[in-house]
Amino acid sequence: SAPPREDRPSNDPDARFTKRQGKSGSTFGYKAHVGVDEGSGLIRTVLTTPANINDTTPADDLIRGDEAAVWADAAYDTHARRARLKAEGKKPRIAFRPNRHHPELPPRLKRYNRLIARRRAQVETTFATLKRRMRLTCIRYVGLMKASGQVLLASIAFNMRQWATIAA
């Protein structure tokens, strides 16, 4: 639940706090989740959630259904998701993460994570462009609906820029 109004850094009723693993302090706001086409680099799906929502929650909504393989970082890794993707005939190219029972990944899985990192980097490049070129470093509107609109418009601008590069 949200902290009392006087303890919040903003009057946005939908924004929430999150703490990033390995980083000090917390962040207040929203998270953008994107699905990027492997070949063209175009954004196919975009979702905005309050920052406290775990990355695995909206992950299935990012999958359109016509993908041959799904590439994702370790934040989206669950056994159920891997099994479901395999059952649907898709290749789950999701980075493995250590867990409570296996705090250290075996060398085989570490090597796998390194091998798929280059393909996954395309999404990180997308976020870098959204933040630096489209100035999506902060949400300028109050409320989840308006924040989603800002992220969606930035994604449309990104795709128009990508199309210009593809068509040239």
φ/ψ of residue 70, rounded to 5: -115, 115
Burial of residue 51, with CB atoms counted within 10 A of its CB: 0-12 exposed, 13-18 middle, 19 or more buried: middle
Radius of gyration of the chain (CA): 17
| Residue at 6 is within a domain | no
Contact 149, 30 (CB under 8 A): no
Q: Which domain holds residue 147?
A: 13-163
- 117-155, pLDDT tens digit by residue? 988 888 889 999 999 999 999 889 999 999 999 999 999
| Residue at 43 is within a domain | yes
Binned at pLDDT 50, 70 and 90, residue 31 comes out as very high
- 61-117, pLDDT tens digit by residue? 999 989 899 999 888 899 999 999 999 999 999 999 988 888 999 999 999 999 999
Q: What is the CATH number of the domain that holds 45?
A: 3.30.420
pLDDT of residue 27: 85
Identify the residue whose tokens are 């867990």.
99
Asked if the model's pLDDT at residue 5 lies above 80, the reply is no
Strands 43-50 and 27-36: antiparallel
pLDDT of residue 120: 83
Indicate the pTM of the whole model.
0.84
First to last CA, the chain: 49
pLDDT of residue 140: 92
- 39-56, pLDDT tens digit by residue? 899 999 999 999 999 989
Asked if the model's pLDDT at residue 4 lies above 70, the reply is no
Measured distance CA(30)–CA(33) in Å, rounded:
10
Domain count, the chain: 1
pLDDT of residue 107: 94
| Residue at 134 is within a domain | yes
Helix ranges, 56-143 (H): 59-62, 79-87, 107-132
